[in-house]
Amino acid sequence: MKRFSSIAALTALLLTAAACGDDSSSSTEPVDGVPRAIISLSPTATEMLFAIGAGDQVIAIDEYSNYPAEALEKPHDLSGFEPNVEAIAALEPDLVIMQDNKIQEQLESLGIAVWVGPAAASFDDVYAQIEQLGAATGHIGEAAELVGSMQSDIAAAVAAVPTGAAELTYYHELDPTLYSVTSSSFIGEVYGLFGLVNIADDAQPGNDYPQLNPEFIVEANPTLIFLADTKCCGETPETVAARPGWDAIAAVQNGGVIAMDDDLASRWGPRIVDYITAVSAAVAAAAVEA
């Protein structure tokens, strides 16, 4: 997804995307004026809305939207995975935000505008979605400011890593059954900012979310292990060190097992900056150790 070079182009896209029927990009129906009753069924979109100042326009969120704290002051029992058209329509929203388009046609048939923001595949996708939400909710300036600050903060986090950090290897853990990610995934692109080498890249060609086996990981001997299963599954550096044979891995021996926030690892909103900052600190420490 490309960045939009002008507000005019962005607005035109917002008014025509739904008619184009492109499921791979964000879309919305034309909205008369600024929406005042927004429902968000996407945790990432919820974070974006509050970050650009549209939180007061939100009337309800899905059950997994848990940030920021003000969001939880809204009703938060709707399902984003199995959305109920009747329950949504009963709240009389003028804009519904979702991660996929499974009930988009039904909502639009009721006269309810819909914006769809699929999982980002790149940073350009992230920035474009923030800008689109800004235009759709009347917060164009705040969205542009947020994108600018994110870009500056990310650049600073990358610049903070000393030379010599490139070529360090890593393993990103999605869950204790050893599902991981490749460099082609969005979170893999985050690690790519630092030149890290992903041990999962050649595990299962064509699969961005391969399941590795313990022997493969031990033999790959990653310098860093990032645990994105701390909240869901209680994984810690200590539980990793206790796995059979894992005490021989460089990351375990040198304090390179990093407990990350599951939510930050799985969302592509403004707090991806916090995730990148945490990666930056881990990489810098590993570079010094190396």
DSSP-derived secondary structure for 56-104: GGEEEEBTT---SGGGGGS---B-SSS--HHHHHHT--SEEEESS-TTH
For the cut 60, the answer to whether the pLDDT of residue 85 exceeds it is yes
Which domains does the chain carry?
A: 7-154 (3.40.50.1980), 162-289 (3.40.50.1980)
For the cut 70, the answer to whether the pLDDT of residue 165 exceeds it is no
Residue 287: predicted pLDDT: 85
- Residue 288 binned pLDDT confidence (cut-offs 50, 70, 90): confident
Q: Which of 105-114, 122-131, 154-163, 268-277 has the lowest mean pLDDT?
A: 154-163
- Residue 225 binned pLDDT confidence (cut-offs 50, 70, 90): very high
Residue 167: predicted pLDDT: 78
* pTM given for the model: 0.86
Contact indicator for 132, 147 with CB cutoff of 8 Å: no
Residue 18: predicted pLDDT: 32
For the cut 90, the answer to whether the pLDDT of residue 41 exceeds it is yes
For the cut 80, the answer to whether the pLDDT of residue 17 exceeds it is no
Task: Answer positive or negative: Cα dihedral of 141, 144, 150, 152.
Answer: negative
